[in-house]
Amino acid sequence: MTSVATIPAPAASAPRLRLPPGACDAHSHVFGPFDRFPPHQASVYALPDASPDVHAAVRAALGVTRGVLVQPAPYADDPSAILNALSKSEGALRGIAVATARVTDQTIQDWIAGGIVGLRFAEMRTPAGGRYPGSVGFDELRQLAPRMRRFGLHAQLWADAATLAAELPDLVHLGIPLVVDHMGCPAPERGADDPSFAAVLKVIRSENIWAKLSICRVSKSAPDYSDALALQAALIDAAPDRCVWGSDWPYVRLSPAPDAGKLLDLFLDSTPDNSTRRRILVDNPAQLYNFGDEK
């Protein structure tokens, strides 16, 4: 087997404040172990050595007891690496897979039994302009929606704000929960009043649409991320019961890589209300990802 060139996955510091029991990092990734789970597609980014054991160590450092693993494009529509991590997590993890309309009902059922709770669909483009190799677009979502509705899966949408503004009014009629990836990918220099982002917020307020707060993927002002704080606040104001927080660890295509502990500090500092913090870190992800109540 051809060896896979990797880079180290970033460590995480502990946040200043202790998180509430059941806190969840709702967006991160695992890669490998590559001797068992090599990529299916040539990757446009360096592959991190982010095995389940490394991921577990980062969760422990952050103090999150739950997590959601999202399928990265190099694995295409094979979630074996995620399913392996889920099987080792003793129920602490859920997964978001990728599928085309060719996927069988039996495969979907097997994935669900292994902890998959949603499917990811992407219309984001690489720097060269094409869709990320291995990703699946919204056209496949429209074909899969009836079966996703039957099996209780939600759809995670990765697209920029302009695309979401155009697509969401139609996609809400599919009858399944929709999760907007990476805060809807607005342009921070345009602010919260940008017409595309404002249109996304309008739909989020009135429909069964959730938002992932992963500020590092939106901001262009690391490490303080000040240009995206108003965007995060607008999403929380629009749907405090349908926001979840995600680190986006191990930060592919971001250099230097953020520190997930510092990102948690930023979220906690910018969301001072304890009730809202708990909703976003504990209650909302428990509902969306079927974790159940913290005991």
Give residue-wise pLDDT tens across range 39-71: 998 888 889 999 999 999 999 999 999 999 999
- 54 within domain boundaries: yes
- 197 within domain boundaries: yes
- 1 within domain boundaries: no
Q: The domain containing residue 232 runs over which residues?
A: 19-288
Residue 231, SS3 per DSSP: helix
- 172 within domain boundaries: yes
Q: CB 193: neighbour CB atoms within 10 A? A: 9
Helix residue spans in the chain (DSSP H) = 52-62, 80-87, 105-113, 138-151, 161-171, 195-206, 229-238, 260-270, 274-278, 284-288
Read off the pLDDT of residues 141-181 as tens digits, 9 standing for 90 and up.
999 999 999 999 999 999 999 999 999 999 999 999 999 99
Read off the pLDDT of residues 201-219 as tens digits, 9 standing for 90 and up.
999 998 889 999 999 999 9
Q: What's 274's domain CATH number?
A: 3.20.20.140
Residue 105 identity: D
Looking at the 3D structure of the chain, how many domains does it have? 1
Beta bridge partners of 158: 122
d(CA 221, CA 216): 9
* Of the candidates 35, 30, 28, the residue with the CA atom closest to the CA atom of residue 49: 30
Burial 267-283 (b: 16+ CB within 10 A, else e): bbebbeeeeebbbbbbb
Read off the pLDDT of residues 180-198 as tens digits, 9 standing for 90 and up.
999 999 999 999 999 999 9
Residue 4, SS3 per DSSP: coil
